[in-house]
A and B are shown apart, each in its own frame.
Chain A
C-alpha cells in the first residue's frame, strides 16, 4: 500500500496517513463502524491499547489466527470493555511507576457498541468514568445489537424496526426514545464528552486527538451508519450520516468542563426528518403521524 502523499491540496494535512486498522476485515460492504474505527485510530496514533467489547467490531477484526489490528488489542467479554480498559490503564500506570516499561504516554481506549456501552456495558462504563481513569471510551452506535442480528437496544431510535421491535398488527416498532448517554457521561463530570460521525471525518479526528491529549476519562459517542441493519444501500453510508446531522437528529457537539459547544453547524432551517428516514428501510413502515412525532421531538431540542 503506497503512502498517500498528495492529498494535502484539499484534505487537511492533519490526517495521520498511517493505517492502524488493516484491510481484509470482514465488515459488511459500506460499514460505517469500520470506517469510524479506521478514522478514530488515525486520531489515536500507534501508542494506544484498545480494549474491545464483543460485537461487530470485535468479530470482523479478530478471527483467530488473524487480526486487523495494527496496535495492541484485547477482547474479554461483552459488558466490560470499559472495565478492562481501566485495568489496562492501572497496569500501565503501575508498570511505568516501577520502571518496568518505558515512561511513555500510552493511552488506554475502550471500544464498544451501543449495547456494550448503554445497556449491558453501562455499569462498567459508569464505574470507570467515575473513578477518573485516564482513558477514552468510544461508543460505536449503530443503534441496535447488530452483530447478533439487529435486535433493539436502548439506542435504537423511536419507531425503528428491529428484530425484537418489529412493527406488526399491534406494534409500530421501537417504543422508546434513545437513552441519552452523552448526557449521562456529562453528569459524571469527566474531562471531555463528544459526539462524532465519520461523515465528518475531520471533526471526528480532531475530537479524538483532543480526548487523547487530555488526562482523565473522555467519552466519544460515534454514530455508525449500518447499511445492513438500517436496510439501505451500502453506498449511502456517508450521505445518511450527513443527513443525521442536517435534520438535527444527531448533532455534533462537545462538552468540556460543563460547557457545551456545537462543533459542526447544522443548516438553518433544519432539513425535515423525513429526508433521513426515507432512505432507511427500518423506517419505511412509519405512518405520517409517527414521523410527525419524531419531527416534533427534534424541534423541541
Chain B
C-alpha cells in the first residue's frame, strides 16, 4: 500500500473534508457548538467549488432534517450535522427518515442536552435516539472520523441497508482537537462510493406516493420491517469495513478489543474515552491487574454476538456510561450490555460507572481507579464516578 501523507488539522474540519469527498448532492446544516466548524468548513468547500453540493442554510435543525428527507426522496445524496438541542429538535424526524429508508448521513458532535445548557461533551444527545432506527457508529479519534464518514454513504446506500447513518464525534474532545490524519485520494473514494440508487424516487416520470398513513392492517408489519432492516444491516456494515481494511489498511469492527486475552476484568467504553482507557489498561496491567478493554463502535444495531465473543472468559465487566438514563437504575450502555448476558449460562458481574458528564475530563488515572474498583466488585453496582457527594 502506498504511503500516504498525514495532514494535521482540526478533526471537525477533517470531517467536513471527508464529506466534501463524498459527492454529496444536498447539505443542509444548522450551526450549533461544537459542530459549527463542520458547517463552516463544508460551506467553504462548496464556495470554492471543491465539492458540487447544494448547501441549504436552513433556519432550524428540524428544517435541516426535513430538507435532507425531501432531497433524499428525489434521489439526492443528503448530509447534515448537529448535536444536543439540535438533535433533540430533529428527534421527531429521525424515525421518519429511517422508516422511509432515506440513506442520509449525519455527523453528531456529541454534546450534553439541556438543562442545564452545556456546550462540551457527553453522550446524552445520542441516547434518546436509540429507537430512531438509524445506524449509529462511534468514532474514537480523528482518523476514525475521516474513515467512518467516508464509508458512511457506502453503508447507508447499500441495497441491503438503505438506512440513515449517524457518525458520533465527541464534541470538543474530538471535534476541536488537531490530529494527524491520512486522507485517501479522491479517485479512490470515487471508486469506493458508487452512485446512489434509491429503491424509489420522486419524479413525474414515475409518480408514486411516499409517507402514506397506515392503519393496523399494515402498520405492525411495517414496524417489523424497520426492525429487521436495522438488524440485517450489520452484515453489510462488517462487509464494508472489511473492504476498507483491504483497500486502506485500517481495521474497523463492531466491537474492538484491547488486551482482553485472559483478562478477568474488562472495561467497556464508547467514543473518544476509549483511547484514554487503553492507556489506563496498560497502567493497570503494569500494576498486575488482569484487565482488558472492549470498545463498542457499532451502537445500533447493537452487536450482541460480537460483544459476547469479545468478553468471553471475563469475570467482571465495568461499563462506562457517558450519559444518564434517569430513573432506570443504570446508564443506557449498562442496561443494553446487561440485557445481552441475561440469557447466558455464565454471566459476568457487571458494574456501571457513569462518568465524563458535561465534558468533565476523564483521565488515565480515572480509568486506573475505576479498573481497580471494578476488580474488587462482588456484585452489580451502579455509581456516578467522580461526582461530589
- B-facing residues in A75-100 (Cβ within 8 Å): 75-77, 79-80, 83-95, 97-98, 100
- A-facing residues in B160-213 (Cβ within 8 Å): 195, 202-213
- Rounded to whole angstroms, the CA-CA distance of A223 and B195 in the bound complex is 44
**B54 within 8 Å of A (CB atoms):** yes
CB pair A131 B212 closer than 8 Å: no
Query: With A94-B54, A98-B25 as given contacts, are A87 and B207 in contact (CB-CB < 8 Å)?
Result: no
Query: With A83-B63, A94-B53 as given contacts, are A88 and B71 in contact (CB-CB < 8 Å)?
Result: yes
Provide the residues of chain A in CB contact with B195, threshold 8 Å.
100
CB pair A71 B73 closer than 8 Å: no
Interface residues of A, count at CB 8 A: 51
The interface stretch among B74-82, B136-144, B233-241 is B74-82
Q: How far is the CB of A144 from chain B (nearest CB, A)?
A: 20
- Rounded to whole angstroms, the CA-CA distance of A256 and B53 in the bound complex is 31
Provide the residues of chain B in CB contact with A124, threshold 8 Å.
59-60, 62-63, 66
Provide the residues of chain B in CB contact with A94, threshold 8 Å.
25-26, 52-54, 71, 76
Q: How far is the CB of A148 from chain B (nearest CB, A)?
A: 13
CB pair A85 B207 closer than 8 Å: no
Query: With A64-B213, A98-B25 as given contacts, are A74 and B63 in contact (CB-CB < 8 Å)?
Result: no
**A48 within 8 Å of B (CB atoms):** yes
Provide the residues of chain A in CB contact with B68, threshold 8 Å.
87
* Per-residue A-contact encoding for B23-59, CB less than 8 Å = 1, 0 else: 0011010000000000000000000000011101111
Q: How far is the CB of B80 from chain A (nearest CB, A)?
A: 10
Query: With A75-B210, A90-B56 as given contacts, are A101 and B70 in contact (CB-CB < 8 Å)?
Result: no
Provide the residues of chain A in CB contact with B67, threshold 8 Å.
83-84, 86-87, 90
Query: With A64-B214, A87-B56 as given contacts, are A92 and B74 in contact (CB-CB < 8 Å)?
Result: yes
CB pair B59 A98 closer than 8 Å: no
CB pair A71 B25 closer than 8 Å: no
Q: How far is the CB of A161 from chain B (nearest CB, A)?
A: 28
Provide the residues of chain A in CB contact with B279, threshold 8 Å.
none
**B93 within 8 Å of A (CB atoms):** yes
Provide the residues of chain B in CB contact with A123, threshold 8 Å.
59-60, 62-63
**A67 within 8 Å of B (CB atoms):** yes
**A269 within 8 Å of B (CB atoms):** no
> Which one, B60, B78, B207, contacts A71 given CB within 8 A?
B207
CB pair B76 A90 closer than 8 Å: yes
CB pair B204 A72 closer than 8 Å: yes
CB pair B62 A87 closer than 8 Å: no
Chain B, interface residues (CB within 8 Å), range: 35 or more
A127 (CB) vs chain B CBs: closest residue: B59
- A-facing residues in B237-256 (Cβ within 8 Å): none
> Which one, B28, B60, B66, B206, contacts A76 given CB within 8 A?
B66
- Rounded to whole angstroms, the CA-CA distance of A46 and B206 in the bound complex is 11
**A165 within 8 Å of B (CB atoms):** no
**B69 within 8 Å of A (CB atoms):** yes
CB pair A83 B204 closer than 8 Å: no
CB pair A73 B63 closer than 8 Å: no
> Which one, B58, B78, B207, B210, contacts A127 given CB within 8 A?
B58
**A70 within 8 Å of B (CB atoms):** yes
Query: With A87-B26, A91-B76, A95-B76 as given contacts, are A64 and B66 in contact (CB-CB < 8 Å)?
Result: no
- Rounded to whole angstroms, the CA-CA distance of A106 and B195 in the bound complex is 22
CB pair B210 A88 closer than 8 Å: no
Can you name 30 A-B residue pairings with CB atoms under 8 Å?
A: A46-B204, A48-B204, A58-B213, A63-B215, A66-B212, A70-B207, A73-B207, A73-B209, A75-B212, A76-B70, A76-B211, A77-B92, A80-B63, A83-B62, A84-B70, A86-B66, A87-B26, A87-B28, A87-B56, A87-B66, A88-B73, A90-B56, A91-B25, A91-B76, A94-B76, A97-B52, A98-B52, A124-B60, A127-B59, A131-B56
16 other contacts beyond A84-B70, A101-B75, A128-B63, with CB at 8 A cut-off?
A: A46-B204, A49-B204, A63-B212, A66-B212, A73-B207, A74-B209, A75-B211, A75-B213, A76-B69, A83-B58, A90-B71, A94-B53, A97-B52, A106-B204, A123-B63, A127-B59
| B residues whose Cβ falls under 8 Å from a Cβ of A | 25-26, 28, 52-54, 56-60, 62-63, 66-76, 78, 92-93, 96, 100, 195, 202-215, 218
| A residues whose Cβ falls under 8 Å from a Cβ of B | 46-49, 51-52, 58-59, 62-67, 69-77, 79-80, 83-95, 97-98, 100-102, 106, 123-124, 126-128, 130-131
Q: Which 10 A-B pairs give the minimum distances between C-beta atoms?
A: A87-B70, A127-B59, A91-B71, A75-B211, A91-B76, A83-B66, A87-B67, A91-B74, A67-B209, A94-B25
